């Protein structure tokens, strides 16, 4: 049946042409943008994945900049510490020359003083963007739980979509000549010592004079006093860092038993128990004989040291704030034979301090460089992955465009033919 009201052929041709035009528009958009998925309506799942990955790429770009800044900062500190090591080696040569009696020690002393001043200049100038890792100005705790700074190293995304950051801790190395401040007995001291003062008496089996208990710890508070229960940063509002009756972050506690010294650097949030544990670990790591001495920590943070030997053993405990690793340079003297002899021991210790600092910075810089290379490669891999998800296949798009253009022409022709069909009905009325 023919109808002038309903032209089925034209409707089919029109719908076909609309479909062809839609596909043609999509293909032309792919060619123009270079993307097969340009918006969420193209494929919501793939688009969402690509956007998350693009956000990660942006994050890794910022991480690369952070690593570059960190690497430069550490490189300056490493070069400065190596220069200090070289200058200390020169000073050692002067000290060795002063061991002889037939030399002009006053002239040697003048040269040592000049080299010491040069070391001070190097340490003071070893800053990058205002951060100096050598002069003792850093007081914060880093990812290694040491005094230092953190360098943003990576972003970690788990299967649930949660994102966390990873930090590379760079330990500060205090190579200043600052002598530091000795804290008072109110800050840290032995609480129980029933035997000879400063001595852990030989073992007597009674558990009295042959043991000491380290239980006196005070922490600076935010009200200008020393009544806090945990260690605070020096930057805490209200904290008085000049007060020597309490501990704060960065203070160093030294506990010497016999000829073994354990050290512990106060960290943020430390309590009596954590300091006692740190000192115990410090003594053990320095080789305190576990057969000769028993170290116990009670639940309330008291460190008890028992002497199991048949000899009295001297001990001492102290705490310092801001002591520089090269503080001995200020008093280094070769003006007398005894001074020269002592100076040789002291300069050797300072050289080792500078060498350790250089090694620490070198290790940190190498780690940062490795991480920077990894982040760069990872960013490239992510970009490649995003491209494989959303980029258009231009060869395929080109072939599809030509086919659709032909289909469009045929569709227009088919619609034109279908529209002419009602004209044939007129012949029936002639």
Q: Is pLDDT above 90 for 392? A: no
Which strand (E) or helix (H) includes residue 352?
Answer: helix 337-390
CB of 339 closer than 8 Å to CB of 199: no
Output the CA–CA distances (angstroms, integers) from residue 343 to 306, 328, 331, 418, 426, in the order listed. 36, 9, 9, 109, 123
Q: Is pLDDT above 70 for 201? A: yes
CB of 87 closer than 8 Å to CB of 118: yes
Residue with the bigger pLDDT between 417 and 118: it is 118
Number of other residues whose CB lies within 10 A of the CB of residue 205: 6
pLDDT bracket for residue 223 (50, 70, 90): very high
Output the CA–CA distances (angstroms, integers) from residue 423 to 13, 215, 429, in the order listed. 17, 110, 11
pLDDT bracket for residue 207 (50, 70, 90): low
- Please tell me the distance from the alpha carbon of residue 43 to that of residue 124, in angstroms, as a whole number: 58
- The per-residue pLDDT for 76 is 95
Q: Is pLDDT above 70 for 1? A: no
- Give the pLDDT confidence of 311-347 residue by residue, as tens digits: 889 999 999 887 788 877 877 888 888 888 888 888 8
- Give the pLDDT confidence of 157-197 residue by residue, as tens digits: 877 778 888 899 998 888 888 777 889 988 998 887 777 78
- Please tell me the distance from the alpha carbon of residue 406 to that of residue 400, in angstroms, as a whole number: 10
Structure tokens at 81: 């510490």
**Domain spans of the chain, in order of start:** 8-34+392-429, 47-177+334-384, 181-323
- Give the pLDDT confidence of 69-96 residue by residue, as tens digits: 999 999 999 999 999 999 999 999 999 9
Task: Calculate mean pLDDT across residues 134-146.
Answer: 82
Show Cβ contacts of residue 46 under 8 Å, excluding neighbours closer than 6 positions: 37, 389, 390
Decide: pTM greater than 0.85. no
CATH class of 47-177+334-384: mainly alpha
CB of 425 closer than 8 Å to CB of 4: yes
CA-nearest of 313, 207, 202 to 256 is 313
Cβ burial 28-54 (10 Å sphere, 16+ → b, else e): ebbeeeebbbbeeeeeeeebebbeebe
Q: Is pLDDT above 80 for 110? A: yes
DSSP one-letter code for 147: B
Mean pLDDT of the chain: 86
Task: Calculate mean pLDDT across residues 98-109.
Answer: 89
Which residue blocks in 98-200 are alpha helix, DSSP H? Answer: 105-125
């Amino acid at each position: 049946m023919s109808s002038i009201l309903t032209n089925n052929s034209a409707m089919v041709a029109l719908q076909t042409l609309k479909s062809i035009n839609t596909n043609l528009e999509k293909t032309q958009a792919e060619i123009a943008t270079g993307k097969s998925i340009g918006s969420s309506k193209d494929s919501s799942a793939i688009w969402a994945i690509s956007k998350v990955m693009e956000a990660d790429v942006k994050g890794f770009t910022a991480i690369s900049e952070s690593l570059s800044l960190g690497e430069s900062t550490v490189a300056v500190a490493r070069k400065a510490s190596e220069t200090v090591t070289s200058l200390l080696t020169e000073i050692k040569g002067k000290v060795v020359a002063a061991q002889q009696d037939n030399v002009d020690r006053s002239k040697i002393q003048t040269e040592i003083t000049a080299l010491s001043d040069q070391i001070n200049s190097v340490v003071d100038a070893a800053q990058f963007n205002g951060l100096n890792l050598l002069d003792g100005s850093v007081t914060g705790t880093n990812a290694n739980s040491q005094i230092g700074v953190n360098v943003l190293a990576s972003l970690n995304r788990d299967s649930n979509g949660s994102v966390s950051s990873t930090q590379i801790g760079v330990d500060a190395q205090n190579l200043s000549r600052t002598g530091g401040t000795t804290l008072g007995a109110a800050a840290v001291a032995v609480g129980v010592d029933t035997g000879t003062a400063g001595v852990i008496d030989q073992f007597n089996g009674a558990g009295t004079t042959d043991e000491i208990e380290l239980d006196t710890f005070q922490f600076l508070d935010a009200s200008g006093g020393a009544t806090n229960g945990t260690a605070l940063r020096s930057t805490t509002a209200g904290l008085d860092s000049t007060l020597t009756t309490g501990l704060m972050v960065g203070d160093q506690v030294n506990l010497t038993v016999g000829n073994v010294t354990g050290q512990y650097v106060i960290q943020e949030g430390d309590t009596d128990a954590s300091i006692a544990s740190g000192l115990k670990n410090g003594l053990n790591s320095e080789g305190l004989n576990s057969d000769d001495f028993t170290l116990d920590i009670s639940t309330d943070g008291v460190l008890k040291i028992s002497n199991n030997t048949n000899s009295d053993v001297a001990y001492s405990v102290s705490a310092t704030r801001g002591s520089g690793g090269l503080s001995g340079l200020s008093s280094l003297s070769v003006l007398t034979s005894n001074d020269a002899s002592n100076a040789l021991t002291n300069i050797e210790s300072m050289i080792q301090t500078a060498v350790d600092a250089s090694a620490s910075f070198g290790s940190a810089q190498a780690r940062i460089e490795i991480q920077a290379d990894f982040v760069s490669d990872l960013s490239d891999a992510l970009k490649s992955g995003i491209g494989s998800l959303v980029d258009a296949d231009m060869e395929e798009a080109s072939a599809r465009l030509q086919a659709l253009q032909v289909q469009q022409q045929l569709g227009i022709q088919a619609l034109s033919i279908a529209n002419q069909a009602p004209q044939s009905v007129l012949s029936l009325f002639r």
